[in-house]
Amino acid sequence: MTLQKRTTKRQPHFFAVEGESEISFIKFINILADQQNLNIHLHKEKLNGGGYEKMLSEAVKKRGKYEQCKTSFLVVDSDRADRNEDSWNIEELTEECHKASFTLVIQRPNFEAVLARMFIGNEKKNFTSASHAQKALENKWTKYDKPEDAMALQKKFSISDLLRMATYDENLKLMLERLGFQVN
């Protein structure tokens, strides 16, 4: 009798994100998931900008080719709503995401704030503006060059950094838990 190695299919998840920085971040999370032996695959699609309504509409269309995905996430910055640059506010976007079966992940105020909070001692910081977050990130990561790729993120941060920061970020915590990470 021969023994066959039994492989289980990776559980797919769909991410619609604002830009290249977020694509790299999702790739980084996929690397960490592999290190944690989570049997997942994260499909990533970059949105072509615009307001929240346009991004959600585009995300719904792009998700069509990933119908087998267990969960769908829309990752956006809050700074456009903070500056009243969008026809939808965060509450409207949250409601519409729920209707479209997307989990909304809000980067407050932007992606650079997420990275800045991953440094030890910064996880509880509340950045009031995108420029404040950018300066805080550059103070800790002097050679930061947007968009950093997933390998650069892996060299700079660990699973501990991500999980520590996620304990103070409800959106990121929810996303990671839905992917199978254990966030305390």
Distance between CA 147 and CA 58 in Å, rounded?
22
Q: Is residue 5 part of a domain?
A: no
Q: Is residue 1 part of a domain?
A: no
- How many distinct structural domains can be found in the chain? 1
Q: Is residue 6 part of a domain?
A: no
DSSP code per residue over 13-64: EEEEESSHHHHHHHHHHHHHHHHTT--EEEEEEE-----HHHHHHHHHHHHG
DSSP code, position 168: T
Q: Is residue 147 part of a domain?
A: yes
Domain extent at residue 96: 11-179
Residue 127 CA: distances (Å) to CA of 29, 106, 132: 23, 13, 6
Q: Is residue 184 part of a domain?
A: no
Q: Is residue 125 part of a domain?
A: yes
Please list the ranges in the chain whose pLDDT falls under 50: 6
- Give the per-residue pLDDT at 111: 96
Helices (H), 64-127: 79-82, 90-99, 111-117
- Give the per-residue pLDDT at 83: 73
For the chain, first and last CA: distance in Å? 45
* Whole-structure pTM value: 0.92
- Give the per-residue pLDDT at 8: 77
Q: Is residue 127 part of a domain?
A: yes
**101-146 per-position pLDDT tens digit:** 999 999 999 999 999 999 999 999 999 999 999 999 999 999 999 9
Q: Is residue 2 part of a domain?
A: no
Q: Report CA 93 to chain centroid distance, whole Å.
A: 16
What are the strands, taking DSSP E only, across 64-145?
Answer: 71-77, 103-107
Check which CATH number belongs to the domain holding 174 and give it. Answer: 3.40.50
